[in-house]
Amino acid sequence: MERRHLIKTVGIISTGGVTSLAGCTGSGDGNGGSESTGTDNSGDSNTVLMVTEGSEYYFDPIGLFVEAGETVTFEIESGSHSATAYSEDTSSASVTRIPDGAAAFNSEILSEQGATYEHTFETTGTYDYFCLPHKTLGMVGRIVVGEPSGPAEGSMPPDGPVPESQTIVDQGSVSYSEFSG
Length of the chain: 181
DSSP secondary structure of 120-169: EE-S-EEEEEE-TTTGGGT-EEEEEESS--STTTTS--TTS----HHHHH
The response to whether 139 counts as a known ligand-binding position is: yes
| Geometric angle at alpha carbon 66, from 60 and 70, rounded to 5° | 110
The response to whether 131 counts as a known ligand-binding position is: yes
The response to whether 24 counts as a known ligand-binding position is: no
The helix/strand count (H/E) of the chain reads as 2, 13
Q: CA-CA distance, 161 to 77, in Å (whole number)?
A: 22
CB neighbour list of residue 15: distance below 8 Å, 6 or more residues apart: none
Binding-site sequence positions: 131, 134, 139
Indicate the annotated binding residues for Cu cation: 131, 134, 139
